[in-house]
């Protein structure tokens, strides 16, 4: 991105998170914008603009003709407390799988949370709510299961499975300031 080169495949049916050259975060459905300095795509939403995502749309009050899944009616969006995501629903079925995600705070700081595959017990709702508890305005999940890993401060805190450890070619890194 920063050099103008793009790597990887397009995932226009999933979410992306990008950062501009002045470190502003851009969270959007579809491929990252072409002017992003760095980005990652193929994500699924946990929280976007303080709106939680889940298996179905939920509203703060009873509404006539409310849409339970998919795009809510424009006049109902103001009452939306949870937005549906088919990807969230599919992943929540397999709750005992490793999870990896990152959230963005209002000041631009990043929160990273992983759950190791062989010890995973959280549902995706519980995983999402860990980001809610930390006041993330955006949070995205990455594909999980036995490919989840976390290398922090020169230590493997969470390791991927042996086969994934030998075949994975990429990861997501964050710089720690202060």
- Cβ contact 66:73 at 8 Å: yes
Tally of domains in the chain: 1
How many CB atoms are located within 10 Å of the residue 147 CB? 19
Q: Would you list the DSSP string of 83-151?
A: EE-HHHHHHHHTTTS-EEEEEE-TTS-EEEEEE-GGG----HHHHHHHHHHTT-SEEEEE--GGG--EE
Structural domain includes residue 97: yes
Structure tokens at 10: 């397009």
Structural domain includes residue 79: yes
Cα 141 from Cα 122, distance rounded (Å): 13
Q: What's the pTM value of the predicted model, to 2 decimals?
A: 0.81
pLDDT digits (tens, 9 = 90+) for 78-129: 999 999 988 888 888 766 677 788 899 999 998 988 877 667 788 889 999 9
Residue 6 has pLDDT above 60, yes or no: no
Structural domain includes residue 174: no
Using the CB atoms, write b or e for 90-117: b if 16+ within 10 Å.
ebbeeeebbbbbbbbeeeeeebebbbbb
Cα 176 from Cα 153, distance rounded (Å): 10
Structural domain includes residue 8: no
Dihedral angle computed from the Cα positions of residues 134, 158, 98 and 163, in that order, rounded to the nearest 10 degrees: 150
Segments forming the whole domain that contains residue 136? 15-166
Structural domain includes residue 23: yes
Structural domain includes residue 10: no
Residue 19 has pLDDT above 80, yes or no: yes
Q: Report the relative pairing of strands 51-54 and 80-84 from DSSP bridges.
A: parallel
Rg (CA), the chain: 17
pLDDT score of 1 = 41
Structural domain includes residue 104: yes
- DSSP element (H, E) containing 45: strand 38-48
């Amino acid at each position: 991105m920063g050099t103008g080169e793009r790597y990887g495949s397009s995932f226009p049916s999933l979410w992306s998170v990008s950062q501009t050259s002045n470190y502003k975060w851009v969270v959007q459905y579809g491929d990252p914008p072409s002017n992003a300095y760095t980005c990652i795509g193929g994500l699924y939403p946990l929280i976007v603009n303080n709106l939680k995502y889940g298996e179905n749309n939920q509203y703060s009050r009873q509404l006539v003709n409310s849409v339970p899944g998919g795009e809510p009616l424009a006049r109902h969006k103001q009452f939306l407390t949870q937005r549906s995501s088919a990807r969230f629903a599919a992943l929540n079925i397999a709750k005992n799988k490793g999870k990896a995600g990152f959230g963005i705070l209002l000041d631009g700081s990043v929160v990273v949370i992983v759950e190791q595959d062989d010890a995973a017990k959280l549902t995706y709702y519980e995983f999402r709510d860990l980001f809610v508890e930390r006041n993330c305005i955006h949070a995205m999940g990455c594909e999980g299961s036995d490919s989840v890993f976390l290398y922090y401060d020169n230590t493997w805190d969470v390791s991927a499975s042996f086969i994934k450890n030998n075949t994975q070619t990429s990861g997501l890194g964050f710089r720690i300031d202060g």
